Amino acid sequence: MTEQRFNRLTSVINHRQPDLTIVLENVFDPHNISAVMRTCDAVGIQDVYILNNRIPPHKKWGNKSSSTASQWLTIHQFTDIEECFKVIRNKYKKVYASHLGDNSVDVYKMNFTESVALIFGNETFGVSDEIRKYADGDFIIPQVGIIKSLNISVACAVTLYEAFRQKNEKGHYDKSRLPEADSIKLKDQWGLLQ
């Protein structure tokens, strides 16, 4: 491994944000999932949670849309809702669902500097009422057009870049925030400890 490659991978690990994640509920299109993974990697998310309790678990992702992002992320797939949210609740303090509702909070008024998991639903129905019961609240991306929703990968990107902006302003990217054990594990997986 070249010194440049070593430094690049080390920098990526040092910018990972252990207190921010996304949960994808029954997203059909693997290309949408891959596009979301690409954004997750870009903003420093390491863990991605995929819940498929109504559709079969995915066996592969769309490589063209992910640009191989999935190989740099830790993907957690679940088919059981309770098991998924037990893991989420043990690791993240707040859980919010993307949902257009009367009590939904504008994404730009959310606090993404706290430990948070963000749920995005499938392409047709969004986040289900069943899954929203596990959330502390709902958020929306403000829009003024006729169509009241965005493609899931776009909605995720808009939301995660607002989180990136807030976390960057608070200095979350200025030093490594991963627990040491997680950092060592990634370094080993990525071939930095050889």
Q: Of 126, 37, 51, give the one whose Cα is nearest residue 87.
A: 51
CA nearest to 149, candidates 131, 171, 127: 127
Provide φ and ψ at 78, rounded to 5°.
-130, 150
Helical segments of 44-176, H only: 63-66, 81-91, 129-132, 152-169
In a domain, 157, yes or no: yes
Query: Would you say residue 38 lies in a domain?
Result: yes
Summarize pLDDT for 45-62 with one digit per residue, the tens: 999 999 998 776 666 665
**CATH number for the domain including 28?**
3.40.1280.10
**pLDDT for res 64:** 52
Average pLDDT, the chain: 92
Please state the pTM of the whole predicted model: 0.92
Give tens-digit pLDDT for 31-41.
899 999 999 99
Which residue range(s) make up the domain with 84?
A: 3-188
